[in-house]
Chain A
Amino acid sequence: MLIGENILLALSGLKSNKMRAFLTMLGIIIGIASVIAIMTVGNSLNTSVTSSMQEMGANNLTVGLKQKSYSEEVTESGMRFGAGFRKSMTSDDYITDEMLSAYKEEYPDNIDAISISESIGSGTAEDGNLSANVNIVGVNIGYLSINELTLLSGRSLTDRDQEEGRKVVLVSEKLVKNLFDGDNYNALESAINININGKYYTYTIVGVYEYEENSMFTSESDEDVTTDVYLPLKTAKEQNHSEEGYTQFTIVTTTDTDNETFMEQTKYFFNVYYAKNENYEVNVTSMESMLESMTEMLSTISIAISIIAGISLLVGGIGVMNIMLVSITERTREIGTRKALGATNASIRLQFITESVVICLVGGFIGIVLGIILGSAAVTILGYDASASVQSIIFSVVFSMLIGVTFGYYPANKAAKMNPIEALRYE
């Protein structure tokens, strides 16, 4: 019956002693604000990472070579740990074309495409005074179909380009904009010189593709943006003087494939070839599993920082209790008077618990607002879209109420149990 009156009473108490109220609330404010800020940053990061990873294709499996672990041999061979001791990769270790075709034959229903790429390096495409930043990547046909490039003009790379190792390339519209004044037709069949660490490579442009902004890295301006130049995989290998075979490739599975099972099957299939290899084995990862571990990592960080914020809330709660104890001592006569006027112990207890809850809630509310502002600011500086987590706001409100009740109970109970006569006589 008295809750409404008690809330008003507590608020007017706060108003009449603003500085003390603020200092009391500070611990709560800082605690709640940091929880909310961290949660906001975590939440925004999570949303952005998830969506950009999904854009990259959650159906993909990545097959790669991985060094075998020798942990069981450490004691036998004494000092044999650290990667430095391992033999470097040789052509014997690579995944071969034979393995790939055998694999394709084994699972025709599961494999949609296999994408392989090999990087030559980054450099600048130059034409007189004009230049554009590029990455040169050798790709197979599967790579192009997986990455769903949209051709604006010209043609894509063909099987014949691949087989013959032709020096033809696909370039982005951004590169055309920088080097050819945006004239896609003019760019076609033109030669392009690319400088990688002082070494020049010359290719013929056969197609221009539409540049899609990657939401994860958008810090570069239009002129400085680095885009990919695609050339046939075989051409890249020849230019790199690298051996036949691959260290990594990506599989796009068909829609009705169970990725979990297929991951295991793929791993088993390739490791048959590597059973006798001393140094390397095949490892298969999926976007999904990467996404999971990423999300897990983010939430672990969030939880860890939240625990620290929780400690700050605990300290804040103790501050509230401290002030409540001071307050009831100061108001001993008032408590005595209220008891003489007919207040029961329960209503005195309720009055002071309400007061402590109100302090914590007001502090919590300020903290939430401050946290959202700080979190959003941080997220905006990092270049993501801010999204506050509703969960953490609800959590904060409930938690600050809980602090109020927990740390208000002892002082309130002390007030409730005061002897009215002694309280009335208190000077």
Chain B
Amino acid sequence: MAVMLDLKNIRKSFYLNTPNELEILHGLNLTVDKGEFLSIVGASGSGKSTFMNIIGVLDRPTDGYYNLDGVDIEKAKDWELSGIRNKKIGFVFQTYNLVARTSALKNVKLPMLYAGMKKKDRLERAKELLDIVDMSDRMMHNPDELSGGQKQRVAIARAMANNPSIILADEPTGALDSKTGRKIMDIFHKLHKEQGKTIILITHSPELAEETERIITLKDGEIVGERRKQ
């Protein structure tokens, strides 16, 4: 199977070149194949958020090699990273992060706007995506008129906008009750099975992690366990 992500010896330190320099990630290695559904679990402070930021190219590692779908991240310029976030990665956050005072439809259209897609195509695609997450009837609503689960569904539709190769979900059900959380997880399974998306789920919940194909356990900035399920 083709390799989607290849991270070698990733280190991340904060407060560089100061007396209180702090290394959070101590040389992580991770390879993710195309179409994989894996989870990264760990207690808070284990470095999983930092790791996610690096995987999502929101941040650069202090040291190490990272190849994302054939692009060497170390050599890419900042604006190229913007393009990668735009087209190759779909983010789903615990706090949804929908743009306020902006309709669900417009929120979904946003990544396509930055990708320079035509207006007509944007509208068509956004409607199609909202239909997949079952939010068509509320697409003109602003985020403050939506429930948590509905917001997260819009956020997933937005993450899918430019048909990214990877969906990076950071505690997507963390702020939801278990019933709504279940629905969100079902959507991820559907995207994985039907569209073959590579999905990386970051969570502290062992039950959710059990649903994925591979579980990576982080502790104190190191991978302490890796379990592949069948």
CB proximity of A331 to chain B, nearest CB, Å = 8
For residue B111, CB closer than 8 A to chain A, the reply is: yes
Contact check, B110 vs A341: say whether CB atoms are below 8 A apart. yes
**Whole-angstrom CA separation of A289 from B116 in the bound complex:** 62
Q: Write out the residue numbers on chain B whose beta carbons fall within 8 Å of the beta carbon of A343.
A: 82, 86, 114
For window 328-356 of A, CB contacts with B under 8 Å fall at: 333-334, 336-347
CB proximity of B172 to chain A, nearest CB, Å = 14
Contact check, A345 vs B79: say whether CB atoms are below 8 A apart. yes
Q: Write out the residue numbers on chain B whose beta carbons fall within 8 Å of the beta carbon of A183.
A: none
For residue B125, CB closer than 8 A to chain A, the reply is: no
Contact check, A340 vs B91: say whether CB atoms are below 8 A apart. yes
CB-based nearest A residue for B113 = A5
Contact check, A338 vs B110: say whether CB atoms are below 8 A apart. yes
**Whole-angstrom CA separation of A372 from B8 in the bound complex:** 68
Knowing A420-B58, A421-B53, say if A342 contacts B99 (CB, 8 Å).
Answer: no
Q: Write out the residue numbers on chain B whose beta carbons fall within 8 Å of the beta carbon of A420.
A: 58-59
Contact check, A334 vs B111: say whether CB atoms are below 8 A apart. no
Knowing A420-B58, A421-B58, say if A342 contacts B114 (CB, 8 Å).
Answer: yes
For residue A381, CB closer than 8 A to chain B, the reply is: no
Contact check, B101 vs A342: say whether CB atoms are below 8 A apart. no
**Whole-angstrom CA separation of A289 from B170 in the bound complex:** 80
For residue A16, CB closer than 8 A to chain B, the reply is: yes
For window 64-115 of B, CB contacts with A under 8 Å fall at: 78-79, 82-83, 85-87, 91, 93, 97-101, 110-111, 113-115
For residue B151, CB closer than 8 A to chain A, the reply is: no
CB proximity of A325 to chain B, nearest CB, Å = 18
Contact check, B79 vs A346: say whether CB atoms are below 8 A apart. yes
Knowing A16-B101, A338-B99, A340-B58, say if A1 contacts B116 (CB, 8 Å).
Answer: yes
Contact check, B82 vs A342: say whether CB atoms are below 8 A apart. yes
Q: Write out the residue numbers on chain B whose beta carbons fall within 8 Å of the beta carbon of A12.
A: 101
**Whole-angstrom CA separation of A333 from B113 in the bound complex:** 19
Q: Considering residues A16, A333, A340, A344, which has the most beta carbons from chain B within 10 angstroms of its beta carbon? A: A340
For residue A2, CB closer than 8 A to chain B, the reply is: yes
CB proximity of A330 to chain B, nearest CB, Å = 10
Q: Write out the residue numbers on chain B whose beta carbons fall within 8 Å of the beta carbon of A341.
A: 85-86, 91, 110-111, 114, 158
**Whole-angstrom CA separation of A341 from B114 in the bound complex:** 8
Q: Write out the residue numbers on chain A whose beta carbons fall within 8 Å of the beta carbon of B99.
A: 334, 337-338
For residue B56, CB closer than 8 A to chain A, the reply is: yes
For residue A149, CB closer than 8 A to chain B, the reply is: no
For residue A323, CB closer than 8 A to chain B, the reply is: no
Q: Write out the residue numbers on chain A whose beta carbons fall within 8 Å of the beta carbon of B111.
A: 341-342
**Whole-angstrom CA separation of A187 from B144 in the bound complex:** 89
CB proximity of A327 to chain B, nearest CB, Å = 12
CB proximity of A69 to chain B, nearest CB, Å = 72
Size category of the B interface is 20 to 34
For window 17-56 of B, CB contacts with A under 8 Å fall at: 53, 56
Q: Write out the residue numbers on chain A whose beta carbons fall within 8 Å of the beta carbon of B87.
A: 342
Task: Tell me if A's interface is mostly helix, strand, loop or mixed.
Answer: helix
**Total residues of chain A contacting the partner, CB 8 A:** 23
CB proximity of B49 to chain A, nearest CB, Å = 9
CB-based nearest B residue for A347 = B114
CB-based nearest B residue for A330 = B100
**Whole-angstrom CA separation of A423 from B100 in the bound complex:** 15
Contact check, B97 vs A424: say whether CB atoms are below 8 A apart. yes
**Whole-angstrom CA separation of A338 from B111 in the bound complex:** 8
Contact check, A342 vs B86: say whether CB atoms are below 8 A apart. yes
**Whole-angstrom CA separation of A424 from B50 in the bound complex:** 13
**Whole-angstrom CA separation of A342 from B98 in the bound complex:** 14
Knowing A420-B58, A421-B53, say if A342 contacts B97 (CB, 8 Å).
Answer: no
**Whole-angstrom CA separation of A345 from B56 in the bound complex:** 17
Q: Write out the residue numbers on chain B whose beta carbons fall within 8 Å of the beta carbon of A347.
A: 114
Contact check, B97 vs A339: say whether CB atoms are below 8 A apart. no
Knowing A5-B113, A341-B114, A343-B114, say if A421 contacts B85 (CB, 8 Å).
Answer: no
**Whole-angstrom CA separation of A397 from B111 in the bound complex:** 33
Q: Write out the residue numbers on chain B whose beta carbons fall within 8 Å of the beta carbon of A334.
A: 99-100
Q: Write out the residue numbers on chain B whose beta carbons fall within 8 Å of the beta carbon of A337.
A: 97-99
CB proximity of A3 to chain B, nearest CB, Å = 12
Contact check, B97 vs A2: say whether CB atoms are below 8 A apart. no
**Whole-angstrom CA separation of A182 from B79 in the bound complex:** 88
Knowing A342-B85, A424-B93, say if A2 contacts B113 (CB, 8 Å).
Answer: yes
CB proximity of B77 to chain A, nearest CB, Å = 10
CB-based nearest B residue for A13 = B101
Q: Considering residues B82, B87, B115, B116, which has the most beta carbons from chain A within 10 angstroms of its beta carbon? A: B82
Q: Write out the residue numbers on chain B whose beta carbons fall within 8 Å of the beta carbon of A342.
A: 82-83, 85-87, 111, 114-115, 162
**Whole-angstrom CA separation of A424 from B97 in the bound complex:** 8
Q: Write out the residue numbers on chain B whose beta carbons fall within 8 Å of the beta carbon of A338.
A: 99, 110, 114
**Whole-angstrom CA separation of A419 from B85 in the bound complex:** 14
For window 374-427 of A, CB contacts with B under 8 Å fall at: 420-421, 424
CB proximity of A352 to chain B, nearest CB, Å = 14
Q: Considering residues B78, B97, B162, which has the most beta carbons from chain A within 10 angstroms of its beta carbon? A: B97
CB-based nearest A residue for B56 = A340
For window 79-135 of A, CB contacts with B under 8 Å fall at: none
Q: Write out the residue numbers on chain B whose beta carbons fall within 8 Å of the beta carbon of A333.
A: 97
CB-based nearest A residue for B170 = A424
Q: Write out the residue numbers on chain B whose beta carbons fall within 8 Å of the beta carbon of A13.
A: 101
**Whole-angstrom CA separation of A340 from B84 in the bound complex:** 10
CB-based nearest A residue for B86 = A342
The 8 closest A-B pairs by CB, nearest first: A342-B86, A344-B82, A337-B97, A342-B114, A341-B111, A342-B85, A420-B58, A344-B79
Can you name 14 A-B pairs with beta carbons within 8 Å? A2-B113, A2-B114, A334-B99, A338-B114, A341-B86, A341-B110, A342-B114, A342-B162, A344-B78, A344-B82, A344-B114, A421-B58, A424-B58, A424-B97
Besides A340-B97, A421-B58, 18 other A-B contacts (C-beta < 8 A): A2-B113, A16-B101, A337-B98, A337-B99, A339-B58, A339-B82, A340-B56, A341-B85, A341-B86, A341-B110, A341-B111, A342-B82, A342-B86, A342-B114, A344-B114, A345-B82, A346-B79, A424-B97
